[in-house]
Amino acid sequence: MEILVTCSAFTILAITLIAIILAKLITVIYRKQTYWKSRQVPYIRSVPILGVMWKFFFRRITILELSDEMYNSYPNARYVGFISAIFPAVLIRDPDLIRDVAVKYFDHFTDRYNFVNEEIEPMFGKSLSLLRGERWKEMRNILSPSFTASKMRFMFQLVSKCSQDFVDYLVEHPEYSSFIEAKDAFARYTNDVIFTVAFGINVNSLKDRENEYFVRGKTIFDDIFGSIFKVLIINTCPAFAKMIGMKIVSPATTSLFRRTISDALKTRREQGIVRPDMLHLLMQAKDKDSETELTVDDIVSQAFTFFLAGFDSSSTMMCFMVYELALNPDIQEKLRNEVDQYFDETNGEINYETLSKMEYMDMVVSETNRKHTFSVFIDRVCTQEFELPPAEPGYNSVTIKPGDCVWFPDYALHHDPKYFPDPEKFDPERFNEENKGNILPYTYLPFGVGPRQCIGNRFALMEIKILMVHLLRKFVIKPNEKTSVPLVFKKANFALVPVDGWWFSLEKRKF
């Protein structure tokens, strides 16, 4: 009888405990789900735990379709509230409000959302793009001088040599250049550029197709963009992820980057080697106020960030650019004529200054960045309370609290006909001298906005433009039977990856 009483008491206790936990969980979920409704803010309905991104996580829509749904949910509102996973956030649609948050009141929104825990991914988590507060400010001050126009000139010859080697291979291998999958090809180019410029290692990934640096580099993006649930777990349950040893970047890849940079630093210091590359600039970099130099770990993290920023985003922009040039032969011919003009004027000696003078090249690249923005959302994290005005008549103003996120929908802004008429048309003339002044500020955000915009945008533009110069000098870009029109992108993938790839053909020019 006593055993039955004991069991009964234990059962009651267990049921009570479970009921309390469930009640607590339901209360937390209810508060999250009604967070914006209770504040009289227009909001997007979502699913508990997964938030507004549930359709994306379950492969029902692409990231671009999610962006459109969110942006158009309240077409007259300056902003809308939503739940991102389990965190409250605001999607800001109004350009003036984007300016206020990202620039005018930047001190209230200094941080970016850190989807990688530094304890789990120390090399990734210490990168400039993810650092917060004073640590970000100090690192930005140290690194900024490395990305000036003078430093781009310093590195130009290395980048130009990579682009020439790339195009020379295409010229010498017509069996390859006649039918190319653009992402694979341009990822090899950006891989070579980054390892040459940031790591001091000469690689030719078209010739040596299975070299360790390209293979390892490619796996990083497969890990980051290919496993959204792993990212979600690390993001929302870092303690659990750490306990089970879950990582985004494999230990073998981390070891390769650390070993490569550490060995290069040691060799250069011992032998006094000076090479016009990013590694040299990082070795020289220090805080002008405190005289603090970068540690080896700092250099490894920033070089790794340089790799992450350049490998995928730049190669993707090149894919979109050749895609548009293949489908718009009149634009391609006009751009080629400009390239030929400068080749003739300089006897083929294209330098950084020459590249900067190519107006139509800049227009084509700018329009590519508008129509096919690499990022879909730009985020900021509130660090000081900030009051947003009412989203539209009939709603309340709302106080954004520290830890809350704000998103800027750059892709949707670039495709809003209110700001860019006929947005699906590829039209470089939007960016000519006469028209570019008419673009409403803070509606064109290809490299982010404010003090936390991409620090390496000059390098990315240089890398893209010089390759296109050499490519157009030697070839005519054409579509083929595998070229998808329009492009259809994979679902549940943060990166813009076409289902059938980017295919094009190169035809040698006849001089």
Question: Annotated binding site, which residues?
Answer: 454
By CB neighbour count within 10 A (0-12 exposed, 13-18 middle, 19+ buried), where does 309 fall?
buried
From 452, 426, 473, 424, select the one nearest 163 (Cα to Cα): 473
From 488, 411, 387, 388, select the one nearest 67 (Cα to Cα): 411
Q: What is the CA radius of gyration of the chain?
A: 25
Please provide the distance, in angstroms rounded to a whole number, between the alpha carbons at the two ends of the chain.
102
Report how far residue 212's alpha carbon sits from residue 208's, in angstroms, rounded to the nearest whole number: 9
Report how far residue 380's alpha carbon sits from residue 481's, in angstroms, rounded to the nearest whole number: 42
- Strand segments, DSSP code E, in 107-213 are 180-181
Lateral strand order in the sheet of 475-478: 180-181, 503-508, 475-478
From 114, 69, 105, 81, select the one nearest 449 (Cα to Cα): 105
Report how far residue 222's alpha carbon sits from residue 253's, in angstroms, rounded to the nearest whole number: 12
What would the two tokens of residue 33 be? 């789900």
Report how far residue 495's alpha carbon sits from residue 511's, in angstroms, rounded to the nearest whole number: 39
Report how far residue 257's alpha carbon sits from residue 462's, in angstroms, rounded to the nearest whole number: 24
Helix (H/G/I), strand (E/B), else coil: 276: coil
Report how far residue 339's alpha carbon sits from residue 364's, in angstroms, rounded to the nearest whole number: 13
From 371, 376, 436, select the one nearest 410 (Cα to Cα): 376
Amino acid 120 reads I
Report how far residue 92's alpha carbon sits from residue 500's, in angstroms, rounded to the nearest whole number: 33
Helix (H/G/I), strand (E/B), else coil: 442: coil
Residues 396, 401, 405, 410, CA torsion sign: positive
Which residues are documented as binding site for heme? 454
Q: SS3 for 168-193, per residue?
A: HHHHHCHHHHCCEEHHHHHHHHHHHH
Contacts 24+ apart (CB under 8 A), 57-65: 57/228, 57/229, 57/232, 57/492, 58/492, 59/491, 59/492, 60/491, 61/491, 62/489, 62/490, 62/491, 62/493, 63/376, 63/489, 63/493, 63/494, 63/496, 64/376, 64/411, 64/489, 64/496
